[in-house]
Structure 1
Amino acid sequence: MTWDAAEAEAPPRIWNTALAMIAAVVMLLIYSAAWQLPLFGDKPDPAAAGLARTAYLPAYALAFLLILARPWNTARVAARQPFLLLLMGIVVASIAWSVAPNASIRHGFAAACTTIAGLALAAGFRWIDLSRLLGIVFAVLVVASYGVCLAAPSIAVVSETLPGGWRGLWMAPGTLGGLMALGCCVLSATALMDADLRKLWLAFAGLAAGLVLMSRSGAGLAALAVGLTALSFVWACRRGATRGATVVGVLLLVLFMLLAASTLLGKEAVVTGRTPLWATALSQIEQRPWLGYGYGASAGQSVRNAWIELWLGVGLFGLMAWGLFYLQALALAVIAAFRDSGALLAFPVLAAFTLVSLTESVAMADNDLRWVVFVAAAGKLAFSDRVWDG
């Protein structure tokens, strides 16, 4: 019996899946932070910042509800992510040596809940359902972004760093560019996995790519190029085109190295003020390289580089735990490219996330949609549909 036939004979399960999808969509839309700029403006006061943190509580609650729906699956997913658990443990332990314990507790709790949300998605959905779920979320964000940019350009098309660049519902064009690059990869992968709605998903993917261009974010455009090339690599592998996969694989590697160098050393890093931030952070790291200053203790201003941010917060041990978790996910994605259709979603997500991590603090990030998506993809790679307990 096929999976579709089994679903047709089990209406209660369909309803359970639908309710879980709705809960997950709402949760992810909260994590997208697309509501912050319209509600609080560019520079929210302390009271507004506190209210914004409170607004994430429903997302935490929905994540725990998803876990309660499949607790055994969640335990199995977590058991397959030892380095992620180690990283979370170091984040918690860093409270003991943090220079700002209260900040570390607050940010650590939020980061743990955000990570749990990703694990809940990996435990609760098969690849096809996860791709549709993420596709729906990014389709909503695409429509909302075009709507606000066209209806209220004075709010959504204002930027001091990238004049004329669209920022949509977020604080900076770079955020819109990075999110829509990830969204385009997700929507394109969903189009390949969901043949019935392929044209619709492709239309949204094209609109997401348009937002990357309108943001004028070089980092976002680089992430888009790498992510779509990674998707082409998996597509070639899945079709058994060995020669084509080899060519695309080499192109992906070369393209990534060139774009990573441009992202780190190019003009945009200077214009957007990332270069002095990195230099200051690295000088601070030299004073406490092993343990760092405590997770979130220096979160008043983001370093805008995931690797430097983690090193600054949780030291070299935490950075190594993150690196091992990342390498595990990457290795599983490469293997899955030849074995599992889920790699169509996971591999481009990892590729785009990797480039975004060079210009944004997205690794072990609290209240961040990109981190939730990355953890979900990494979790599913270690917990494939073959061992999924429906």
Structure 2
Amino acid sequence: MTGRGATLTVNVAALLTFGAFAALVLNAMLGSLAALAFIGCAGALMVSNVPMSIDSVRRWWPILLLPAYCLLSALWSYYPSNSLRYGLQLTFTMVFALVMVGRVSAATLMRVMFIVYGIGVVASIGMGRVSGGGAWLGIFGSKNAFGAHMAVFMLIAVAVAADRESPPLLRLSALVGAAISGPLLVLAQSAGAIMMVAPCLCVLLLVLLSRRLLGTHKIFLLALLGIAVAALALIVLVAGDTLLAEVLEESGKDPTLTGRTDLWATGLSFIAERPLQGLGYRSFWVVGFAPAEELWSMFDVPSGAGFNFHNTYISNAVEIGLIGLAMQIVLIYGGALGMAALTFVRPTAPNALLLALQLLLILRSFIEVEVFYEFSIRSILCTATVAYAARGLLALRHQPAPRHHHSPGGLLSHARHPARSRPL
């Protein structure tokens, strides 16, 4: 809309991205309409600028090898129609993520996510429910779902509050969101969410702090962080099971992760039977499949209800084998490493947030399954992180090197020290 002396510009891509994300984040409120709303907004984004959409897919097409392999698994799948159907939906989801990267900046995405997740938090406070055990459920179906939502919101709120480019009112709202996210996370009584968001928050804050440091200081900070990560990994390898059991017992949880070790043993047995290709994408948790029915019955879960092996690597290897799992590992850990490299050079709030969210995904991958599913916001963010990191690193690579002026005394910048320059 244009008037005399004023112009109002509407960012159509950001609005459609907001609609797509809102449909997925608020799935508990929208129900069956969520998938339809997502398809509508995502499809509108793709066709609103077809040349840019094609360019995004062409540029990052290697990422789509994963959904292509999931589709291919229909050839040997126990349930070919499932593999084909869900494989197409996964392809649509990941194509949307790539198109979004081409149309929406990481900073805009961060602000969109803050608003969307913030709506979920406000709705949870206003219409939230409490479980029989006293855990806060919000608008979600379980305390773990609410805990996961709050963990992501906490990271987003901190990043937006620290972002100098965001509008002041949005930063103030983010500061309030960051302040209330901690207590709400405690009310969820989700020990896993609390334990896993803490190191991610530390990484986010360290990255934001590093913006004030010089290059040598950044390297020193990175070295300290590397030593801390190595020490943490060593502790987890040596005494991880014992520590986890103690933490869970102190918080009133089952040290066996509510029977997940039994699930893992079952999954590993299926991997051993078909290690390379798996059973087929989305071909295990199917009504009528005897092993799945047995596990549903064992854990008192209604047949056909949402369920998984509570371990990303085991669950996905069961369905698409070690070949498909290797593709997923490349995306998950490659995205984290790429974004870490970009964040080291460009420690902006959006980059720091994407790195923290990817780290949260990695930590949760050992006890939950969040990727790669159709119409999944975590799958979209994982895919987008890989593309954002690759695009940022390529931009740095093609950035011209700074020019320096030489003087008899060595390398000297005339612009910075004109008084010290000697005539040649």
Q: Amino acid of the residue matched to residue 299 of structure 1?
A: W
Q: Amino acid of the residue matched to residue 172 of structure 2?
A: K
Counterpart for residue 98 of structure 2: 119
Instruction: Work out the CA distance in 2 between the residues paired with 1:168 and 1:258.
Output: 35
Verify: 1:60 aligned to 2:46, yes or no. Answer: no
Do 1:83 and 1:324's aligned partners in 2 also have CA atoms closer than 8 Å? no
Do 2:310 and 2:368's aligned partners in 1 also have CA atoms closer than 8 Å? yes
2:25 aligned to which of 26, 32, 47: 32
Verify: 1:308 aligned to 2:296, yes or no. Answer: no
Q: Amino acid of the residue matched to residue 60 of structure 1?
A: I
Deviations 1:267-304 (A, max 9, x none): 45624332221111111111111100111111343112
Instruction: Work out the CA distance in 1 between the residues paired with 2:235 and 2:282.
Output: 31
Counterpart for residue 140 of structure 1: 119
Counterpart for residue 155 of structure 2: 185
Do 1:77 and 1:383's aligned partners in 2 also have CA atoms closer than 8 Å? no
Do 1:80 and 1:382's aligned partners in 2 also have CA atoms closer than 8 Å? no
Instruction: Work out the CA distance in 2 between the residues paired with 1:104 and 1:208.
Output: 38
Q: Amino acid of the residue matched to residue 367 of structure 1?
A: F
Do 2:38 and 2:375's aligned partners in 1 also have CA atoms closer than 8 Å? no
Do 1:291 and 1:314's aligned partners in 2 also have CA atoms closer than 8 Å? yes
Instruction: Work out the CA distance in 2 between the residues paired with 1:191 and 1:97.
Output: 49
TM-score, normalising length: structure 2: 0.75
Q: CA deviation at 1:164?
A: 2.2
Counterpart for residue 281 of structure 1: 267
Instruction: Work out the CA distance in 2 between the residues paired with 1:32 and 1:179.
Output: 8
Verify: 1:380 aligned to 2:373, yes or no. Answer: no
Do 2:155 and 2:201's aligned partners in 1 also have CA atoms closer than 8 Å? yes
Q: Which runs of 5+ in 1 are unaligned?
A: 1-8, 40-51, 150-155
| Larger CA deviation: 242-251 vs 257-266 | 257-266
Counterpart for residue 14 of structure 2: 21
Q: Amino acid of the residue matched to residue 22 of structure 1?
A: L
Q: Amino acid of the residue matched to residue 35 of structure 2?
A: Y
Counterpart for residue 352 of structure 2: 344
Q: Amino acid of the residue matched to residue 181 of structure 1?
A: A
Q: Number of paired residues?
A: 353
Q: Which has the higher helix share?
A: 1
| Larger CA deviation: 365-374 vs 277-286 | 365-374
Q: CA deviation at 1:139?
A: 0.8
Q: Which runs of 5+ in 2 are unaligned?
A: 287-306, 396-424
Counterpart for residue 146 of structure 2: 176
Matches within 5 A, 1:294-305: 294-300=280-286, 301-305=307-311
Instruction: Work out the CA distance in 2 between the residues paired with 1:384 and 1:275.
Output: 40
Do 1:182 and 1:353's aligned partners in 2 also have CA atoms closer than 8 Å? no
Q: Amino acid of the residue matched to residue 229 of structure 1?
A: C
Counterpart for residue 5 of structure 1: none
Q: CA deviation at 1:140?
A: 0.8
Q: Report the 3-state secondary structure (helix = DSSP H, G, I; strand = E; otherwise coil) of the residue aligned with 1:337.
A: helix
Counterpart for residue 332 of structure 1: 338
Counterpart for residue 203 of structure 1: 176
1:85 aligned to which of 29, 48, 64: 64
Q: Which one has the largest radius of gyration?
A: 2
Counterpart for residue 106 of structure 1: 85
Deviations 1:218-271 (A, max 9, x none): 221122112211212322333324234443454355457767946996445624
TM-score, normalising length: structure 1: 0.81
Query: Residues 381, 315 of structure 1: CA spacing in aligned structure 2 closer, same or farther, 3 A cutoff?
Result: same
Counterpart for residue 152 of structure 1: none
Do 2:312 and 2:370's aligned partners in 1 also have CA atoms closer than 8 Å? yes
1:212 aligned to which of 181, 185, 192: 185
Q: Report the 3-state secondary structure (helix = DSSP H, G, I; strand = E; otherwise coil) of the residue aligned with 1:180.
A: helix
1:251 aligned to which of 228, 241, 244: 228
